[in-house]
A and B are shown apart, each in its own frame.
Chain A
Amino acid sequence: MMKRFVLKGILFLFLLVCMDLSGGYIFDFLRETALKKNPSKMTMEYAMESVDQEVIVVGSSRAQRHYVPDILQDSMGMTVYNIGKGGFYFLYQCCVVHEILNRTNPKIIIWDMEPTLLSKPRPSEISNLSYLGPYYDSSAYYRAIMEEMCPSEKYKMQSRLYRYNSHSLHYFSKSLAVKKNIKSVSGYIPLPVEGYEYPSLQELQEADSMWTETEKRFVGIIRQCQQNNVRLIASFSPKYVKSNYRETQVYRRLCSLLETHRVSLIDCYNESDFLNDPTLFKDRVHLNDRGARLFTTKWIEKYKARQEENSLASADRAAGEKG
């Protein structure tokens, strides 16, 4: 009995490995084809493999739906791409930014984050990391995060098909150039301005548990930006909640980190212009298109004001040095 079982088992395993490898090659091919045919619909792949604009907006769905590249482009005089992706948070963003910095040198990275960035990641954030599976071999940074966060992934990722888990239909459809009805302009996806109930203002007690791993990873990315001469700007876009974030330790720690590493922070999180107008929001955490356009304009004003302050400060410093 055992001999028969072992022989059939070996044959089955051999066929399984062959299927897995060939399936992996097919999906590699589909991914490349889809990226060539339909780059604007392949946010993650475009960010990991192709993005080369001068200004890159990084973040989750809040970045994707809050920063309008056209407005930024016109005001800053640089090419802009928004690689924000819904449901994908800090760890994913670190992987993407790391790969971008390895491949190209943008001038500015605008990183949309939460004031509570340094708190412990939510479980979905870790499980969503597996979406970067196709880059398991090519990105040592991603590999290290995966092996640290989910040790069993090291074994699972040996399967080439597993790396494409949940991507298969996406790559099929995009490589066949099936129509997708998202209006994406340089990564920005607008939300409708009417046809739904506007949110009501609520108070929010932010989570306040520090997680040193996040800090370690964030500082690593800041240093990588500095080494590559990339200007990193931290940004809090508006939320329709009355938050106590300024009282939290994680926020204070984040501010001190940003200050230590001379990273500018543009904070519109609880800005009154937005808190006074629920019609700018689709829901409590997302601005609608009108809100996004207003926010991007405000953001530019703040950015320019910050630029002026910086240039004045450097002029002062230069004068001081001369004197």
Chain B
Amino acid sequence: MVFTSFHFLLFFPLVVLFSWLCPKRFRYVYLLVVSYLFYANINAVYALLLAGVTSVTYVCTRMMESAKTERLRTWWLRADIVLVLCPLFFFKYYDVVNEGIGNLLAGCGLGWPLPQISWLLPVGISFYTFMAIGYAIDVYNEELEAEKNIGVLGLFVSFFPLILSGPIERAGHMLPQFRNFKPINYGHITAGLKLMLWGYFMKLVVADRLGIYVDTIFNNAAHHNGTSLALASLLYPFQMYGDLGGYSLIAIGTAKCLGLEVMQNFKRPFFATSMSEFWRRWHISLIKWLTDYIYTPLSFRYRRWGMAGIVVALMATFLISGLWHGATLMFILWGVIQGICLSIEAITNKRRTEFEKKHGLGHRWWYIALSCIVTFLLFAFSEIFGRAASASEAFEIIRKIFTEPGKLFVADIELIFASGIIALLILFFKDFTDEYLPGKYLLYENPHPVIRFSSYLLTIALILTLGVLTGGQFIYFQF
């Protein structure tokens, strides 16, 4: 069951209703059962894996807490990380590593006995694995006490709005809410429904409409000219934003309807004026996780190296981020590009800030617009490696963009294309007003009920008429 399926529209109100009726002290049990049913509905066997990850995390963190020596605590942390990462490595990286070793040994004339196992990646495994590891590290760092109730911990790892594609929540934020549920009130439900409505618009109307064009071009990249490929490359970031941003809003809204607060995952990323700011606005939960558990420890460890230490930490963090997305050369290249951009920014930061101050550029609208455009173009360029079928295809696409201009492909799908562009303009208007004119042009939050209700109805009408309502998947399910 995914958020865009018809079944979810029946499932969700029932979950909220029974959650409201359920006594507060049993609500975690109720939500745990609901979360497992939700996940088992996708594949029952993978629910066992989820239970395994939860049990290992529970045992290791409890043992970590009761360990008498620092060495033992560290041992339990390592054991937890290795055991929790095992399923992720097995499902996501086994084939790649196995093939690599096989090819290497074959080159030396040796055989390799392990077969390839093309199993489907359990959906959400990368997300709940990171949540479980983050919790264990927090316990190790004594930022959190180990959860004594396995049901509460189980709910944290499996909470149904977050399990498939995040946001990658932190135990410190969620566990207190699961231990002591707030009463569900009118404000929670309406605020949650508004977020969900906008999330559905972003996913079904923006992402999926643009996706038809982007997929048409990228899936037949060899047959398209540079102009069409350039446009598809520019639209792909918006598709991703609509897809994961929409999913995140639906997840946050669903949790809110249940009286739970979940962290924001996107904050109008295309109004970022630098790559470092972009990554504070895009997939915030993943970047925060990587910052806290990879970047900060690494930059601390290499602090004596000065700027070189920061560059090493940035490169390593984004390489891991790339590998988290997939064990392919393309994602490694994607990570390298991000790492290089951020490193250049870090190195030039002082001089850039001085230059901006000296010429008073920081508040000039054209400079802000130019910075936003440059940042967007850099991100769109790096995403060619995230979207192309292979690294060689990505390079071919880039070559065509710069050397093979031609007539823009819109034949047969011009109305689909137009629908996507209309949806994109609506999204841009909303993000623009939220960014630069906060409090003005309010729609869902307008104090006047006629405008508020009209906005809801118009959004629903747009979803019904322009949305792609065929129950498509979310891009991040593959990660």
* B6 lies within 8 A of A12 (CB): no
Of A48-56, A141-149, A163-171, the one contacting chain B is A163-171
* A86 lies within 8 A of B412 (CB): yes
* Chain B residues closer than 8 Å to A15, beta-carbon distance: 453, 457
A4 within 8 A of B: yes
Bound-state Cα–Cα, A167 to B469, Å: 13
Given A152-B7, A161-B464, A169-B422, 13 extra CB contacts under 8 A: A1-B185, A4-B186, A12-B453, A16-B460, A20-B461, A27-B465, A127-B470, A162-B469, A164-B464, A164-B465, A166-B465, A168-B419, A169-B466
Fill in one digit per residue for A8-38: 1 if any B CB lies within 8 Å of its CB, else 0: 0000100110011001000100000000000
A246 within 8 A of B: no
A-B contact pairs, 9 of them (CB 8 A): A1-B186, A5-B189, A15-B457, A155-B6, A165-B466, A166-B419, A166-B465, A169-B415, A170-B415
Interface residues on B, range: 20 to 34
* A12 lies within 8 A of B186 (CB): no
* Chain B residues closer than 8 Å to A169, beta-carbon distance: 415, 418-419, 422, 466
B386 within 8 A of A: no
Question: Taking the nearest CB of chain B, how far is it from the CB of A272, in angstroms?
Answer: 27
B456 within 8 A of A: yes
Bound-state Cα–Cα, A173 to B422, Å: 14
* Chain A residues closer than 8 Å to B185, beta-carbon distance: 1
B467 within 8 A of A: yes
Among residues of A, the one whose C-beta sits closest to the C-beta of B464 is A161
* Chain B residues closer than 8 Å to A1, beta-carbon distance: 185-186
Bound-state Cα–Cα, A145 to B419, Å: 28
* B186 lies within 8 A of A168 (CB): no
A159 within 8 A of B: yes
* Chain A residues closer than 8 Å to B470, beta-carbon distance: 127, 130
Fill in one digit per residue for A265-289: 1 if any B CB lies within 8 Å of its CB, else 0: 0000000000000000000000000
A156 within 8 A of B: yes
Which residues 73-130 in A have Cβ within 8 Å of B in the complex?
86, 127, 130
* Chain B residues closer than 8 Å to A155, beta-carbon distance: 6
Given contacts A1-B186, A169-B418, contact A23 B6 (CB under 8 A): no
A12 touches which of B416, B456, B466 (Cβ 8 Å):
B456
* Chain A residues closer than 8 Å to B468, beta-carbon distance: 166
* Chain B residues closer than 8 Å to A170, beta-carbon distance: 415
* A173 lies within 8 A of B457 (CB): no
* A23 lies within 8 A of B465 (CB): yes
Bound-state Cα–Cα, A155 to B469, Å: 13
* Chain A residues closer than 8 Å to B419, beta-carbon distance: 166, 168-169
* A161 lies within 8 A of B453 (CB): no
* A168 lies within 8 A of B466 (CB): yes
Among residues of B, the one whose C-beta sits closest to the C-beta of A167 is B465
Ranked nearest first, the 7 interchain pairs of A and B with the lowest CB-CB distance are: A161-B464, A168-B465, A152-B6, A127-B470, A1-B186, A169-B415, A19-B457
